[in-house]
Amino acid sequence: MEKLPKEQTINMRRKFLCDSCPLFYSNSPLKIVKASKQYMYDEEGNKYLDCINNVAHVGHCHPYVVNEGSKQMALLSTNIRFLHDNLVILAERIISTMPSSLSVVYFVNSGSEANDLALRLARCHTKSKDVVTLDHAYHGHVTSLIEISPMKLRMMAKNCDVPIQPYVHIAPCPDVYRGKYRDCDFPATEDLSQKYADDVQRIIDDIKAEGRKPACYIAESLQSCGGQIIYPKDYMKKVFRYIREAGGVCIADEVQVGFGRVGSHMWAFQVHDVIPDIVTMGKPMGNGHPVSAVVTTPEISASFQALGTSYFNTFGGNPVSCAIALAVMDVMENERLMQNAKEVGQILLIKLKNLMENHPLVGDVRGIGFFIGIDLVLDRNSRQPATEEASCIVESLKRNGIILSREGPYNNILKFKPPMCFDKENADYLVEKLGEALTEIEQKSNH
Amino acid sequence: MEKLPKEQTINMRRKFLCDSCPLFYSNSPLKIVKASKQYMYDEEGNKYLDCINNVAHVGHCHPYVVNEGSKQMALLSTNIRFLHDNLVILAERIISTMPSSLSVVYFVNSGSEANDLALRLARCHTKSKDVVTLDHAYHGHVTSLIEISPMKLRMMAKNCDVPIQPYVHIAPCPDVYRGKYRDCDFPATEDLSQKYADDVQRIIDDIKAEGRKPACYIAESLQSCGGQIIYPKDYMKKVFRYIREAGGVCIADEVQVGFGRVGSHMWAFQVHDVIPDIVTMGKPMGNGHPVSAVVTTPEISASFQALGTSYFNTFGGNPVSCAIALAVMDVMENERLMQNAKEVGQILLIKLKNLMENHPLVGDVRGIGFFIGIDLVLDRNSRQPATEEASCIVESLKRNGIILSREGPYNNILKFKPPMCFDKENADYLVEKLGEALTEIEQKSNH
């Protein structure tokens, strides 16, 4: 399966590919040559437990998905200017998982294409350009999304003086552990969701004061790259109400967190008991195959159509992409993977929280289903981020055959978003090795 | 292969999908259930000769491509944060087809993602936002590209008063048959390429007068949706010089016209003997699989890296997409498909030109390789577009089992962009049936 010696692969990569996409473990990158279920294998046959590839949703190279995709590839792949059953069957199936108001689908190729289309829909429907986005958010790599992705904006502003557009408004991320309003700074009776929502209302007031209105509020239903953030109860409800009162629409970005990852629900916005106006989905949808979608209301879709110009996406909704997405949904049902995420996620969360007893480095453990974040701190009172220690732990886990990574503005938050077939034994092994890594580093820093 | 009766497919499509993407033959759409080589088959087994699917580049469902893709799907599909041989082998292979200055590749999922990234690269490198684009151009469906796609802008302006951004500058399309400067209005000695290039220079002067400079000039190397336009000799050379003198870079959009379609060269910009700073490619690259790329210079790539923020594309460059793109390039070589496009394209062009003798409806026939446009006119002197007649011809050809479509600002130009395995017998059949359709409609309008 390996065609070139690893050194040559590295050299050719350095020569022919842009350096803008860093490798995992950049000092000693992994050359992965095959994968199956929740495991990846390097060129020497070493096996790794994959705790982060949320794209390989139903397990790497799931044979049923591969087979359905291969069969359709051999039969037909063309654009949606022709009628095809896969397209409409998938559309109906996705809509069946949504609140009834969300009943029109657009198929695209990536989360970036989905979020860009969501913005176009929102702006067209509201005839406004102003976007309210969350701090540390990342919504995709195309121009329109970089503009509303503070995670990228802040880095570019630091390096290159790239300005924030006047129609982009950054609200504080409702992170009660490390955000603007922290649970440790307020009595337990204080409603932090209201404080964070008030900040959004202030932004809306500012937009109105300039004679405009918000086109939309966009947020991941749980913030991923920003640090695996779970918003306080009722925050989204309040914000959705404020935005709608001001004439805007609400976009739930489910590209990373949707498709059953939370276990209890198909979509993470359902955890918050809200109904968005536009939902975007992507990464897990094709188990690695480039397929994504936008779902919206007939009213918003009608506004878009009134532009009088067609929307055509060359590959979007082709029979192969649809066959693969349908197969992914089949496997989720047949193998009860949401149930698995719920059960194993819950067990893992408890075990990880138990690590806090003996490991002061662990400041916070939070999660739902197979979406878990572990915030590492140098000191539990100041919550100073333990960035260096997080890096050491990721390396230590790698030596034990576990692929885990870190994120957040300080790169100190361990993220856990595995394939949905991750099992109890995997959870035990992860907790055991993570515990050892924590002990090791805590002992080191005590000397 | 059909899962639903056709009526139900139509009804479900109406119910669940946005109407913004119209069907071909909207009054009586085709339900295609399988395809092979240059042929598509409907649910009743009727066979159609495909003259327009430039995405099914080496032939629909080519077994070698399907097999290579299927094998890799079963083995591994993950992101480029891990090393993989397919990625670097494909990068080297694409670069081997380019001028030596173009030596860095970025892999993405669609032509839209590629052109958006090209814009980001150009703007970042030049620290300017101003874009010079051609009238009637279409570069993709994301926000940043709709802004520079006059084909879409003009339709939206007509319907919804959507403004053209102040940093977007529309140069006349150098179409010597139907454009601003027509061959019929000037002596044969007049250099129309200079007149069109002068218009670009005037735009540059206007940008400069406002204290800015162009970030880039972007154009398809042959304009597709605008009406299968072949620019006059030396036009691109002149424009590239003017843009570079003003500090901008030149983007060749090869999404539709690249990958050997012109027969004589791998890239259509090579026909014009120019070297772009950025090249984008897409549609044919994966024979239907969503894979695309951007190639640029090390200098431009370095400017992008200096932003200090990573570029990550979830699916871009995954081992399956790369395996499929490599397989497409293998088939092109093994089956000598560029040679076929050159030879059959030349024969077809001559035969189509011969139709002009007996068919006054045919105003102009132009093309290179498997990129041919037939401009239908009501009158050869006024060149008034024969829009209605073009529509009738497309319908007539459909009745004869030929899929052909029309485009251009007046929808009067028949476009021919078939799979690269289109053969001489196909060419004969197309010419025969097109001749009959022309006769039929000419007789009708004489009564």
Segment A282-290 shows an average pLDDT of 97
Final residue belonging to a domain, choices A334, A352, A381: A334
Question: pTM for the whole thing?
Answer: 0.98
- Quote the number of domains for chain A: 2
- The residue of chain B with its CA nearest to that of A15 is B104
Pairwise CA distance, residues B246 & B225, whole Å? 29
Do A52 and A129 have their domain in common?
no
Residue A262 lies in a domain: yes
Pairwise CA distance, residues B259 & B255, whole Å? 9
- Which residues in chain B touch residue A78, judged by CB atoms under 8 angstroms apart? 32, 35, 40, 53, 55-56, 60, 288
Do B348 and B250 have their domain in common?
no
Contact yes or no for A33/A41 (Cβ under 8 A): yes
Predicted confidence (pLDDT) per residue in B270-299, tens digit: 999 999 999 999 999 999 999 999 999 999
Do B87 and B112 have their domain in common?
yes
Task: Count chain A–chain B contacts defined by CB atoms under 8 A.
Answer: 354
Q: Who among B12, B81, B290 is closest to A290 (CB)?
A: B290
Residue B1 pLDDT > 80: no
| CATH number, domain with residue B99 | 3.40.640.10
Residue B158 pLDDT > 80: no
Pairwise CA distance, residues B63 & B67, whole Å? 6
Residue B31 lies in a domain: yes
Residue B302 pLDDT > 80: yes
Residue B170 lies in a domain: yes
Residue B166: what residue type? P
- Which residues in chain A touch residue B81, judged by CB atoms under 8 angstroms apart? 21-24
Helix, strand, coil in percent for chain A, rounding step 5: 40, 20, 40
Kind and range of the H or E run holding B171: strand B168-171
Q: Who among B24, B143, B314 is closest to A111 (CB)?
A: B314
> A91 and B12: CB-CB below 8 Å?
yes
Residue A1 lies in a domain: no
Residue B199 pLDDT > 70: yes
Q: Who among B9, B34, B158 is closest to A85 (CB)?
A: B9
> CA A345, A282, A152: angle at the middle one, nearest 5?
90
Pairwise CA distance, residues A332 & B275, whole Å? 49
User: CA-based Rg of chain A, rounded to a whole angstrom?
Assistant: 22
Do A153 and A299 have their domain in common?
yes
Residue A444 pLDDT > 90: no
Residue with tokens 């003017």: B242
ipTM of the complex: 0.97
B28 to chain A nearest CA, in Å?
A: 10
Residue A343 pLDDT > 80: yes
Residue B400 pLDDT > 70: yes
Predicted confidence (pLDDT) per residue in A376-391, tens digit: 999 999 999 999 999 9
Segment B235-257 shows an average pLDDT of 98
pLDDT band at residue A214 under the 50/70/90 scheme: very high
Residue B447 pLDDT > 70: no
Residue A159 pLDDT > 80: no
Backbone φ and ψ for B72, nearest 5 degrees, come out as -70, -35
The pLDDT, as a whole number, for residue A377 is 98
β-pairing verdict for B168-171 and B130-134: parallel
Do B186 and B94 have their domain in common?
yes
The pLDDT, as a whole number, for residue A158 is 75
Residue B1 lies in a domain: no
Residue B79 pLDDT > 60: yes
Do A78 and A156 have their domain in common?
yes
Residue A447 pLDDT > 60: no
> A81 and B23: CB-CB below 8 Å?
yes
Residue with tokens 């209605």: B388
Question: Strand pairing partners for B32?
Answer: B42
Final residue belonging to a domain, choices B290, B319, B334: B334
> A34 and B76: CB-CB below 8 Å?
yes
Residue B158 lies in a domain: yes
Do B180 and B243 have their domain in common?
yes
Residue B326 lies in a domain: yes
Residues 6+ apart with CB under 8 A from A288: A55, A56, A60, B73, B77, B78, B315, B318, B320
Q: Who among A18, A104, A301 is closest to B106 (CB)?
A: A18
Pairwise CA distance, residues B34 & B23, whole Å? 17
What is chain B's mean pLDDT, rounded? 96
* Percent of chain B's residues with pLDDT above 90: 94
Residue B147 pLDDT > 80: yes
Contact yes or no for B360/B380 (Cβ under 8 A): yes
Do A327 and A188 have their domain in common?
yes
- Which residues in chain A touch residue B318, judged by CB atoms under 8 angstroms apart? 288
| CATH number, domain with residue B351 | 3.90.1150.10
> A156 and B309: CB-CB below 8 Å?
yes
Residues 6+ apart with CB under 8 A from B268: B220, B221, B222, B252, B254, B257, B258, B261, B262, B368, B371
The pLDDT, as a whole number, for residue B42 is 98
Residue with tokens 């590749």: B105
Residue with tokens 């600002």: B409
- Which residues in chain A touch residue B117, judged by CB atoms under 8 angstroms apart? 141-142
Backbone φ and ψ for B262, nearest 5 degrees, come out as -75, -10
Segment A294-318 shows an average pLDDT of 94
Residues 6+ apart with CB under 8 A from A191: A232, A234
Segment A81-102 shows an average pLDDT of 98
Picking from A4, A16, A136, A154 by the largest number of B CB atoms within 10 A of its own CB, the best residue to mutate is A16
Residue A11 lies in a domain: yes
Do B344 and B303 have their domain in common?
no
Considering only A38-42, A85-89, A146-150, B309-313, which range has the smallest mean pLDDT?
A: B309-313
Do A372 and A301 have their domain in common?
no
Do A230 and A350 have their domain in common?
no
* Percent of chain B's residues with pLDDT above 70: 100
Final residue belonging to a domain, choices B319, B334, B349: B334
Pairwise CA distance, residues A173 & A103, whole Å? 30
Q: Which domain holds residue B243?
A: 63-334
* Percent of chain A's residues with pLDDT above 90: 94
Under DSSP, the state recorded for B363 is E
* Percent of chain A's residues with pLDDT above 70: 100
Contact yes or no for B293/B277 (Cβ under 8 A): no
Do B11 and B74 have their domain in common?
no
B382 to chain A nearest CA, in Å?
A: 28
Q: Who among A18, A32, A310 is closest to B311 (CB)?
A: A18
Segment A23-51 shows an average pLDDT of 97
Segment A427-434 shows an average pLDDT of 98
- The residue of chain B with its CA nearest to that of A156 is B307
